[in-house]
């Protein structure tokens, strides 16, 4: 009888105990009930305290001078762009390997996204492509720390400075990540984070904007609060939307934050074990180890699959066999952003000034991102919270499929 579970054999991982996410404890309940019973549910009401408390705690944790809590990660990017004075018709460089919000936030304020390629090893923006894509209308870059793996600031910052661009760090995946001992989010001009349900720090929804620049922070506070200064309910100084976080989210995030670093440390330990196991498996590799990355945060954990080491077995067929062995997986961001139906030239032209130069998105072919989307196998961050034996069993499942790949060809 076949050894592969797909064909009736025993599973390599009989019961992978991935913890449910998000996790809830008594402190979460106590905080949320406190906000509920207080009757102060909106931070602009008198005596609100939970959102401000979370802002202070997040700023302290992420070594930021200023933190502005907002309703979600998408709004965080929109606020950050406006903080950097992006105007309709401006061009903003964005990677095509990311969640759509990185680019759609640009169009939401009438600016034009221009896609830059990514490094096929790290999946982050390629500094050479950034330099190549700059035009006389380019004002900045929104870079993403994909999967919590920081961008290469040593190569990226000189390019940004040479072309006088702002840098917004989309750190939605990177709660707790560090570059050379410095938390991401304040290395560029502005950083944004998401606390959507799937994130390692979850408030169901929610986001935050961080910066070390006091002038940018003042503008951010105006922009997130309908253009008004705290305490002046009907005096508005900017045309802006309501991006405020609720007191319920602030209360929940305060208690969730208490557990983040211990959870990240467990994920780092399991990542190290998995990397050790992968050394003996041809065709499956993690992102490069980099001593400049002094701490990792996590959202999705990505590996690269090389079908040539599995006799040409497609990634989808490999993942089907892997699922049968008891290991669920994904494919990261399945399509380059420029292949998304929403990113037609016509749809963007409808949102930007008539004289804006909108790229022919459907004609783009960026080799780095197209290689990434063909090869990525992704896992949710809770999978890195399992026990060591389960992490090693995942590697055993890879080996088992490779050993019996003839059955699948």
Mean pLDDT for 160-182 is: 98
* Predicted confidence (pLDDT) per residue in 221-266, tens digit: 999 999 988 767 788 989 999 999 999 999 999 999 999 999 999 9
- Residue 317, judged by CB atoms within 10 A of its CB (0-12, 13-18, 19+), counts as middle
168 forms beta bridges with 142, 190
Alpha carbons within 13 A on the beta-carbon side of 63:
12
Helices (H) and strands (E) in the chain, counts: 12, 12
pLDDT over 90, % of the chain: 94
pLDDT above 80: residue 355: yes
pLDDT above 60: residue 211: yes
Radius of gyration of the chain (CA): 22
Q: Helix 388-403 and helix 247-278: axis angle, to 10°?
A: 50
Instruction: Please report the sign of the dihedral spanned by the C-alpha atoms of residue 195, residue 197, residue 199, residue 201.
Output: positive
Mean pLDDT for 325-351 is: 95
- How confident is the model at residue 2, as a pLDDT? 64
| Structural domains of the chain sorted by starting position, each given as residue range(s) with its CATH number in brackets | 5-21+259-333+371-408 (3.90.1150.10), 26-257 (3.40.640.10)
Residue 143's contacts (CB-CB under 8 Å, 6 or more residues apart) are 95, 124, 125, 151, 156, 167, 168, 169, 170, 188
Taking Cα atoms as reference points, which of 58, 85, 13 lies closest to residue 396? Answer: 13
Mean pLDDT for 37-46 is: 90
**Residue 400: how many CB atoms within 10 A of its CB?**
22
Mean pLDDT for 360-383 is: 97
Work out the end-to-end distance of the chain between its first and last CA atoms, rounded to an integer number of angstroms.
Answer: 17
Q: Largest Cα–Cα distance in the chain? A: 76
pLDDT above 50: residue 1: no
* Predicted confidence (pLDDT) per residue in 290-314, tens digit: 999 999 999 999 999 999 999 999 9
- How confident is the model at residue 128, as a pLDDT? 98
Mean pLDDT for 113-130 is: 98
pLDDT bin (cut points 50, 70, 90) of residue 389 is very high
Give the span between the Cα atoms of 271 and 287, in whole angstroms: 11
Give the span between the Cα atoms of 207 and 281, in whole angstroms: 38
pLDDT bin (cut points 50, 70, 90) of residue 283 is very high
- How confident is the model at residue 48, as a pLDDT? 87
pLDDT bin (cut points 50, 70, 90) of residue 338 is very high
- How confident is the model at residue 231, as a pLDDT? 65
Per-residue tokens: 367: 């080799």
pLDDT bin (cut points 50, 70, 90) of residue 47 is confident
């Amino acid at each position: 009888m076949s050894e592969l579970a797909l064909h009736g054999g025993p599973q390599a991982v009989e019961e992978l105990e991935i913890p449910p996410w998000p996790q809830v404890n008594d402190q979460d309940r106590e905080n949320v009930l406190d906000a509920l019973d207080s009757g102060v549910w909106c931070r602009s009401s008198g005596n609100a305290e939970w959102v401000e408390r979370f802002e202070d705690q997040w700023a302290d944790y992420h070594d930021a001078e200023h933190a502005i809590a907002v309703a979600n990660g998408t709004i965080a990017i929109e606020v950050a762009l406006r903080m950097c004075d992006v105007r309709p018709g401006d061009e903003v460089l964005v990677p095509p390997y990311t969640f759509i919000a990185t680019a759609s936030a640009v169009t939401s304020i009438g600016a034009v996204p221009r896609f830059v390629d990514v490094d096929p090893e790290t999946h982050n923006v390629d500094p050479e492509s950034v330099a190549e894509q700059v035009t006389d209308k380019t004002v900045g870059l929104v870079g993403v720390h994909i999967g919590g793996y920081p961008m290469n600031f040593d190569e990226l910052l000189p390019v940004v400075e040479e072309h006088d661009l702002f840098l917004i760090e989309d750190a939605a995946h990177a709660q707790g990540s560090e570059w050379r001992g410095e938390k991401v989010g304040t290395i560029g001009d502005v950083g944004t984070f998401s606390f959507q349900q799937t994130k390692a720090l979850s408030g169901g929804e929610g986001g935050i904007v961080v910066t070390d620049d006091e002038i940018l922070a003042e503008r951010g506070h105006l922009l997130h609060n309908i253009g008004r200064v705290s305490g002046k309910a009907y005096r508005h100084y900017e045309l802006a939307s309501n991006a405020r976080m609720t007191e319920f989210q602030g209360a929940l995030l305060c208690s969730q934050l208490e557990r983040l670093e211990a959870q990240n440390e467990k994920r780092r330990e399991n990542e190290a074990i998995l990397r050790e196991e992968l050394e003996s498996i041809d065709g499956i590799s993690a992102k490069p180890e980099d001593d400049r990355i002094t701490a990792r945060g996590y959202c999705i954990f990505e590996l690269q699959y090389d079908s040539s080491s599995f006799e040409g077995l497609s990634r989808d067929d490999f993942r089907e066999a892997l699922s049968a062995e008891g290991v669920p997986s994904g494919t990261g961001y399945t399509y380059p952003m420029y292949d998304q139906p929403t990113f037609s030239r016509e749809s963007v032209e409808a949102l930007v000034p008539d004289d804006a130069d909108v790229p022919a998105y459907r004609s783009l072919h960026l080799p780095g991102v197209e290689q990434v989307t063909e090869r990525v196998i992704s896992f949710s961050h809770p999978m890195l919270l399992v026990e060591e034996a389960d992490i090693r069993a995942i590697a055993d499942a890879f080996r088992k499929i490779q050993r019996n790949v003839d059955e699948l060809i």
